[in-house]
């Protein structure tokens, strides 16, 4: 985030790096700021300062990515609000002939329109400095050479902000008269400029991000059609995953006759941040529908969707197939989890212009969906400070579990990619079905690393217009949701089976630190590669090992598992 004043200054000193904001977007931002002021016109909220007391700089912030120089969402701004109750009263000089709140708003609107800081302090001094600013703003907009005749509604709106009539309306006992004044003399004039902004220069083609075009629905997944030499072992791995879920995960929801405690009552939630899902795929369509699960209850596997890269927030159609494949793997690997789809791109990678989509999707997954696990399979070419900040908030102690692809399938001559290398994130590498690391894995030095199946994963391709068949997906993008699915199954077991001594399962188990410990425990090791799969560990703990650490185990007792899983959190 950067303040409006900082961005305007940057646009003057870093013209080659900072992307300009078109006049159309500036007018849209002006209208949105005025609309926000209108909505914040109750007695308490009108105490908010739109400008700083001493400098009169705008107290408004926009999302600026310092890595790329792009101002993302230039029509959306954020107002800094102190956490005080109640907010202090606004204090204006005795000679001010307009409402202080409207004066600050008018100054910001002028600043946004011309994208430069107006010189309004030449007469601003002493007790009447606000009145000096008001007079200077009035002179500035009266005969400004850059304003066209067709922009007179903007001038009218600024004059209303600076008028004595606005001050009178603001002092009425009820807000109705003030709102009427605001709507008639500020909002309506600004709205006139929205459909066709006169004099607005069109942004250069270089500055346009992912122009939406008419695309054809997906009819095939982007994977090879023929099985590879190791596809039989991959098929065996996925079969074991299915059998594990049938034996140890699926029966839990039926077994629970009494309602679970509040901290355990909700299913595990997984947010997939990717290229969306194809509504043409039969399995995806079924997952999007409500289905009977007995006793009149209704359930939906894909519980939420949101588009962060287009004009319609509900349109999560996948035109590449990457996100559809990731979602289908998760639906199979974690049969009891709720899946949430966040679309951030129309390809298998994230461009520099799309980085802000990922940041918004992470925040949405955390704040709105309250996801327990976030799956990031997409490759990102650059490290983004804003995404890093969103991930850091998501990784606060006792919070989310985030899985990310560890590399870009480039092999040992490259190191781990971002955000997989970020501290706290569980980075996933690839193996074949037998747990042998692939040559496409990145070099990790002497550190241990987690890996699971990422070669020849069988995916059922079943579109409405084509015959059902299996295709074979390979790459770290598809190993990542398998790992996320294993984690979801572990949490599903813990929320049902953990003893009553564990008074808060989320605090103890729903975090990256615990999941890393658990993954290390259930992995089969090949040098530094920790091959993540649960069934060997389950067999050993139930039937083979007489004890685990200092805990005595009973041969053949399935309760051994929950004892050990709880022990790992100690």
Look up residue 318 and give its two tokens.
């996948």
Helical packing angle, 559-567 and 476-497, nearest 10°:
110
Residues 315/342, Cβ–Cβ less than 8 Å: no
What whole-number distance in Å separates Cα of residue 92 and Cα of residue 333? 63
Is 42 labeled as catalytic in the residue annotation?
A: no
Q: What is the CA radius of gyration of the chain?
A: 29
The secondary structure element, H or E, covering residue 524 is: strand 524-526
- Per the residue annotation, which of 63, 72, 322, 429 is the catalytic one? 322
CA 469 to centroid of chain Cα atoms: 33
Instruction: State the helix-helix crossing angle for 129-142 and 100-114, rounded to 10 degrees.
Output: 40
> Annotated catalytic, 143?
no
Tokens, residue 86: 């109640």
Which residues make Cβ contacts (< 8 Å) with residue 198, sequence separation at least 6? 148, 150, 151
Structure tokens at 8: 């305007």
Question: Cβ(483)–Cβ(534) under 8 Å?
Answer: no
CA atoms 308, 310, 314, 315: torsion sign? negative
Q: Which of 25, 65, 274, 318 is catalytic?
A: 274
Helices 23-39 & 100-114, crossing angle to 10 degrees?
A: 160
Token couple for 423? 């501290």
Cβ atoms 324, 282 nearer than 8 A: no
Structure-token match 């034996």, residue found: 247
Rounded Cα distance, 45 and 54, in Å: 21
Annotation marks residue 274 as catalytic: yes
Catalytic residue among 3, 128, 163, 477: 477
Helical segments of 383-526, H only: 385-394, 476-497, 505-509, 512-522
For residue 303, give the nearest of 266, 354, 348, 353 by alpha carbon: 266
Active site residues: 274, 322, 477
């Amino acid at each position: 985030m950067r303040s409006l004043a900082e961005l305007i200054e940057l646009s003057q000193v870093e013209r080659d790096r900072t992307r300009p904001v078109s006049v159309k977007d500036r007018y849209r931002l002006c209208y949105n700021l005025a609309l926000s002021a209108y909505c914040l016109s109750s007695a308490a909220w009108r105490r908010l300062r739109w400008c700083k007391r001493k400098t009169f700089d705008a107290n408004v912030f926009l999302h600026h990515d310092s890595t790329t120089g792009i101002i993302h969402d230039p029509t959306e701004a954020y107002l800094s609000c102190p956490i005080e109750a109640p907010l202090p009263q606004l204090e204006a000089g005795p000679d001010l002939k307009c409402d202080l709140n409207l004066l600050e708003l008018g100054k910001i609107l002028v600043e946004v329109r011309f994208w430069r800081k107006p010189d309004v302090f030449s007469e601003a001094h002493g007790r009447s400095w606000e009145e000096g600013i008001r007079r200077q703003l009035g002179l500035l907009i009266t005969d400004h050479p850059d304003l066209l005749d067709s922009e007179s509604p903007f001038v009218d709106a600024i004059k209303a902000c600076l008028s004595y009539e606005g001050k009178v309306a603001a002092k009425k006992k009820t807000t109705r008269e003030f709102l009427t004044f605001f709507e008639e003399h500020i909002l309506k004039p600004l709205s006139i400029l929205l459909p066709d902004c006169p004099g607005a220069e069109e942004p250069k083609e270089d500055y346009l991000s992912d122009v939406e075009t008419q695309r054809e629905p997906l009819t095939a997944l982007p994977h090879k059609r023929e099985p590879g030499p190791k596809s039989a072992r991959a098929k065996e791995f996925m079969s074991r995953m299915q059998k594990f879920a049938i034996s140890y995960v699926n029966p839990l929801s039926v077994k629970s006759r009494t309602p679970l405690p509040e901290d355990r009552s909700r299913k595990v939630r997984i947010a997939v941040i990717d290229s969306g899902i194809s509504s043409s795929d039969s399995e995806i369509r079924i997952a999007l529908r409500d289905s009977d699960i007995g006793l009149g209850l209704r359930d939906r596997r894909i519980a939420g969707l949101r588009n962060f890269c287009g004009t319609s927030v509900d349109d999560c159609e996948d035109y590449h197939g990457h996100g559809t494949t990731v979602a289908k793997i998760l639906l199979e690997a974690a049969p009891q989890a709720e899946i949430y789809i966040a679309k951030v791109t129309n390809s298998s990678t994230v461009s520099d212009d799309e980085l802000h989509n990922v940041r918004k999707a992470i925040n949405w997954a955390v704040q709105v969906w309250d996801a327990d696990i976030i799956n990031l399979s997409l490759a990102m070419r650059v490290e983004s400070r804003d995404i890093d900040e969103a991930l850091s908030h998501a990784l606060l102690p006792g919070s989310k579990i985030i899985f990310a692809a560890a590399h870009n399938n480039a092999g040992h001559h490259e190191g781990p990619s971002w955000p997989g290398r970020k501290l706290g994130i569980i980075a996933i590498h690839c193996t074949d079905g037998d747990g042998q690391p692939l040559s496409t894995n990145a070099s990790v030095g002497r550190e241990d690393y987690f890996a699971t199946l990422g070669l020849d994963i069988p995916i059922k391709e079943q579109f409405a217009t084509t015959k059902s068949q299996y295709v074979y997906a390979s790459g770290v993008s598809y190993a990542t949701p398998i790992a996320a699915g294993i984690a979801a199954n572990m949490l599903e077991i813990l929320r049902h089976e953990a003893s009553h001594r564990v008074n808060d399962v989320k605090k103890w188990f729903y975090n990256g630190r615990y999941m890393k410990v658990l993954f290390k425990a259930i992995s089969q090791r090949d040098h530094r590669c920790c091959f993540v799969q649960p069934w060997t560990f389950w067999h050993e703990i139930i039937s083979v090992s007489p004890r685990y650490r200092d805990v005595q185990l009973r041969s053949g007792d399935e309760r051994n598992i929950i004892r050990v899983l709880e022990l790992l959190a100690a």
